[in-house]
Structure 1
């Protein structure tokens, strides 16, 4: 695919997508990024060999795809006065910015798509939830999936308000796993393990288990079955799992994800009001 792709904002997520696109064979000459910070701009140019501009107006008007990768609070200013060609595919990875706001700023001649990636995209192992209104044609959806797919897996969701659920599950999800790794490490130390040993055991357990889950999914085995497979009746694992269940782990996580989704809606409403 030889689409001209312009990134507005050159932060970590944009860099991960750029790196993924180049690795997939996208021509460097067909990529550009607008980054006002001089030091960051130099790093992007030196690292990826693509065109780097100080302002979006220098690269976006001729692009087939524009990826909005600036902070939500900076979005309106970044798009001020910007005019894109009709039919341009605009992909927003900015949390909380609703499509209605983007339509007011960019007009109705562009195809707007909203997405929520997550930080494993920095390693090419991310997942992104995408939403496009029914009016967006299949070709535009394919372009958006091509860009986001450069850093991991893509899933489409049925309505824009479900972006908050995506945020709660996968957008914020890496923090939950980091927290659990911390908890297991600390518990190992309390049980008498050396801190370094406990840390290695906890981390590698998560890495290995993730690979088992991925392999199981490829073979059609649900994670609940995988859990059952390693939970011998009357054994140590069953004792720990029973304790977690009795302590209300499922309800705790359900409430935590509900809190994340509600906060996402609050931030989105606030940003919409300010725009």
Structure 2
């Protein structure tokens, strides 16, 4: 079965459970899934009940789709995402983005927890992603291309919609939330990086490093979606100063940062112009 047919069957299985047509897609990263609990009149669909959907296996990822209203906008939220390091092929990691596009979204707001490599950052900071470096070693568009989904060679020069970067920065300022801006480098994981690797990535121009987001944003660009990316800096990943790190520490900082993260995303959803 080809990917296009699988996407359409997944969409059909979702539309059997709700008639809501979302305009904004939210991908909620580690420790940040609570935002989905604020969606009103929700239809909650476990991933296992969606045709062809993978199932999330990582702690801190609930593994369900939540469709409903958030601050006056119709949204679909992924409460838990899929990662290349879980063993899924890249085409499965990004499958939900295609599905959300076919459901009707115009904007993808993607979040993550990641390590900060810019010395000006601190754990608990929020970073607006301005660009990314794909260091995963692969690309989700390798293989057959379906023109109905997007072009064979999609442009990535404005993967993170520049006008929305400015909009998010201004929105954060209005809420008195200090935000950073920077380049996110996506790696395969699941190991955290060695000091030498972090020094290399910083020298390449990255401000933060993580194991997600890049594949989804590539597909968002492929399908013509507007994109906002926001990272929660959970730890400092500076090669010369590296200390041991656990996933529990990452989730703890993400949880501590959650209130300002949720308030920022809710305000973005309320004020963003989709036209």
What is the TM-score normalised by the length of structure 2? 0.29
Q: Which has the higher strand share?
A: 2
The structure with higher relative contact order (CA 8 Å, sep 6+) is: 2
- Between structure 1 and structure 2, the one with the greater Rg is 1
What is the TM-score normalised by the length of structure 1? 0.29
